[in-house]
Amino acid sequence: MNDREVKRYEMCNRVVTFGQDHAADFAASSKATELFGKLKLAIKQADEARPLQQGGRATAREVLLDGLRIDLKNIVRTAREIGEEVPGFADRFSLPASPSHAELLTAANRAMIELKKTEVAAQFAGYELPETFVDDLEADLKAIDESKYEQDGTDLKGVASTVVLGAAIRSGLQIVGKLNAIMHNKYTREPEKLRAWKSASHTERAARREKATPGANGSTPTTPVAAAGAA
């Protein structure tokens, strides 16, 4: 798994734990209980596929697209809230009319153009989106573009397991999205539980790699190792 997939896999596991810790809040026949069960199955499928990757470099583009879709939904939802006080603001952001990848990318790129305007991005302050949400959206778009080339040179077994793993994580993300709507309704008057849910379902961003600065002779400097016993 790449870093992005690991973060989303970990989030799905946290959501399952949340479901187990709050199982008493939901009837056995409830939609939430059904979804928590499906999420456990998706994680099991991911666990079975992970050992088979054998170092394959293939990245499931579907996982990246679903992550982009979630990010865009959060932005659009927040824009609608801002639009309650700033007429016309929500019109700048929209979800794709169809589930096609092309329309998703078009909608995300359109949102990116608006968010590059400082006065527009500033309106989102205070709505608990990550401070880097504009950069994150741009990174999503770049990763999707680059993912078209990532399967070159991978072994067939690794590619096959990556497809299975990607499908499992994608399914998990979709299930968490459905649970998100339920939890906001269920815990609207229980702020502590709602905060616990938001914490469990939040996907941390993978750390960005810093580019090394070449030395004077063009070589890449290395970090000196501290001497033994140094404070």
Cα separation, 175 vs 12, whole angstroms = 9
Is the sign of the CA dihedral 101, 104, 110, 116 positive or negative? Answer: negative
Closest by alpha carbon to 197, among 41, 14, 69, 33?
14
Whether the pTM exceeds 0.85: the reply is: no
CB under 8 Å to 142, separation ≥6 — which residues?
A: none
Distance of CA 202 to the CA centre of its chain: 8
Cα separation, 202 vs 12, whole angstroms = 9
Closest by alpha carbon to 59, among 162, 145, 176, 139?
162
Closest by alpha carbon to 9, among 178, 166, 222?
166
Q: What angle do CA 175, 180, 184 make, to 5 degrees?
A: 155
- Residue 14, token pair as written in the block: 């946290």
Q: 3-state class of 6 per DSSP?
A: helix
Give tens-digit pLDDT for 124-144: 988 888 888 898 899 888 888
Give tens-digit pLDDT for 151-205: 444 444 454 566 777 888 889 999 999 999 999 999 999 999 999 999 999 876 6
Give tens-digit pLDDT for 193-211: 999 999 999 876 655 544 4
